[in-house]
Structure 1
Amino acid sequence: MLLHIPNLLSADELRGAQELLRDAPWHDGRVSAGPQAAQAKNNEQLPEQCEAAQALRQILLRGLERSPLFFSAALPKTISPPMFNRYGGATNAFGNHVDSAVRFLPDGKGRVRTDISCTVFLSAPEDYDGGELVIEDTHGPQRAKYAAGDMVVYPGTSVHRVEPVTRGQRLAGFFWVQSMVRSDEQRRLLFDMDQHLTQLRGSVGETSGAIVGLTGSYHNLLRMWADV
């Protein structure tokens, strides 16, 4: 499932993030790529432990905590610490690749199975040319280039790429989610059910017999499929 989540970050949070990125200590982005992806990767990245990355990470995590749409879609069990990249100039693209199935957390704090990949856009789309995130889907390539502060989530199993940036700079945060529900198909069904339930609650209220019954069905399916 590919999902656009608008306004993950507030205007103030976005301004703060962009200020931190302005003087950030960028380095070669290939340090976090596996052997195959490193052949296709040509961008810059913030060192994970630098002050700017740590401050930016907290901004993104606060945005995630406020987002019921993210929780409904991802059903997160573990979120990898967000990282940050820059595309532009001579380091301007990332060719077709698939993310590693398992990523090791910093300082030996465990592992994350990369069920879901996430990108938070930190540059306004009018500030750069190119740079679309292209996700190969059963319905054909899906292209994502959203407003600054927006996020896109998509299956970690997808072949994807970042098109060359031919003007300006594309700044973004990215991270992975290990979901409580491993199957993308099951997550999609739960997400659709939750969104329809939300709409129904707005029209018939929380205590309707049908709402109570459907809510029970949602939680029983989650109970059946979730690994917590």
Structure 2
Amino acid sequence: MIIHLDNILTTEALMVINQQLEVAQFIDGKKTAGWHAVTVKNNQQLSSQSSQAETLKKMIYKALENNSVFQMATLPRKIHSLLLSRYEQGMGYGSHVDNALMGTSSIFRSDISFTIFLNSPSEYEGGELVLEEINGERSFKLEAGSLILYPSYTLHRVETVASGIRKVAVGWIQSLVRDAQKREILFELDTVRRSIFNKEGKTTEFDLLSKCHANLLRQFAEN
């Protein structure tokens, strides 16, 4: 399930983030790549030692926690490994798959990957996120503040930036429901029951859908 969400970050939050990134310390992105991805990764990442890192990550985590559709779609047990990245002219990230397990002192599974676009697509040429699916490729270059969610098992790449600077936040989710198809069933049920509630209130139909959703979640969820 691939989902595009607009306005994950407010205009004010984007302004703060971009102002802080202008003066922050960046390091070679290869330092956080797996042994095979390091051969195709060419970008810069906000240093974890940077004074801005913790504050900016907290802002983004908070925005994700407060977005109901994001929560419905991902059912997060843990949102983790957040990175703020920039791609200058000539930089890109070749075809790769994200590591299944991430972390050092604590290890988390990557079920879902996400990219939040931090600056306007008019500010750079190239830099599209390309998801490589069996039936073809899908390309994304979204407005600032928008997010794309996709399964972490997906091969994907970032096209070379021809001009300007591409700024994004990327991260991963260990979901309470590991299986992508099961998450999609729960998301669609939840979407329908909330729509019924918004239109008609707490009806018998809403109660039955809520029962189905809760019982399926009970079956699908992992500790």
Residue 137 of structure 1: how far off its partner (Å): 2.2
The answer to whether the aligner puts 1:202 opposite 2:188 as a matched pair is no
| AA aligned opposite 1:60 | I
Deviation at 1:173, TM superposition (A): 0.6
| C-alpha separation in 1, matches of 2:134 and 2:93 | 21
Partner amino acid, structure 1, of 2:125: D
Q: CA deviation at 1:58?
A: 1.1
- TM-score normalised to the size of structure 2? 0.97
Question: Among residues 216, 221, 225, which one is paired with 2:216 in the alignment?
Answer: 221
The answer on whether the counterparts of 2:81 and 2:102 sit within 8 Å (CA) in structure 1 is no
Structure 1 distance, partners of 2:19, 2:83, is 16
Indicate the larger mover: 120-129 or 195-204: 195-204
Q: What is the CA RMSD across the aligned residues, in angstroms?
A: 1.1
Give the TM-score taking structure 1 as reference length. Answer: 0.95
**Residue 161 of structure 1 aligns with which residue?**
157
- CA–CA distance in structure 1, aligned partners of residues 134 and 188 of structure 2: 19
Deviates more, 1:150-159 or 1:194-203: 194-203
Which residue is equivalent to 1:59?
A: 59
Deviation per residue, 1:42-92 (Å, 9 max, x gap): 1111112322221210110111121001100100001114211111124x1
How many residues align? The count is: 223
Gaps of 5+ in 1: none
Query: Partner residue of 1:103?
Result: 102
Aligned to 1:176: 172
Amino acid aligned to 2:94: G
For 2:195 and 2:134, the matched residues in 1 are separated by 28
Structure 1's consecutive aligned runs of 4 or more residues displaced over 3 angstroms after TM superposition are none
**1:174-215 Cα distance to aligned partner (Å, 9 max, x none):** 111000000001001111111111211122212x11110111
Equivalent position amino acid for 2:71 in 1 = F
Equivalent residue, structure 2, for 1:32: 32
Provide the C-alpha distance between the structure 1 equivalents of 2:30 and 2:61, rounded to a whole number of angstroms: 24
Match of 2:127 in 1: 131
Residue equivalent to 2:6: 6
For 1:72, the equivalent position in structure 2 comes to: 72
For 1:160, what is the secondary structure of its paired residue?
A: strand
Q: Name the residue aligned to 1:152.
A: 148
1:139 CA drift (Å) = 3.5
CA distance in 2 between counterparts of 1:60 and 1:21 reads 14
Alpha-carbon shift at residue 19 of structure 1 (Å)? 0.3
**Contact 1:73–1:188 under 8 Å retained in 2:** yes
For residues 61 and 227 of structure 1, the distance between their equivalents in structure 2, rounded to whole angstroms, comes to 22
Checking the alignment, whether the CA contact within 8 Å between 1:132 and 1:162 is kept in structure 2 is yes
**Contact 2:89-2:160 within 8 A present in 1 as well:** no
**Segment of structure 1 superposing worse, 46-55 or 18-27:** 46-55
Cα distance in 2 for partners of 1:214, 1:69 equals: 18
Distance 2:44 2:209 in 1: 47
Equivalent in the alignment of 2:83:
83
SS in structure 2 of the partner of residue 63 of structure 1: helix
**Aligned residue type for 1:26:** F
Determine what percentage of the aligned residue pairs are the same residue: 35
Question: What is the CA–CA distance in structure 1 between the aligned matches of 2:24 and 2:195, rounded to whole Å?
Answer: 43
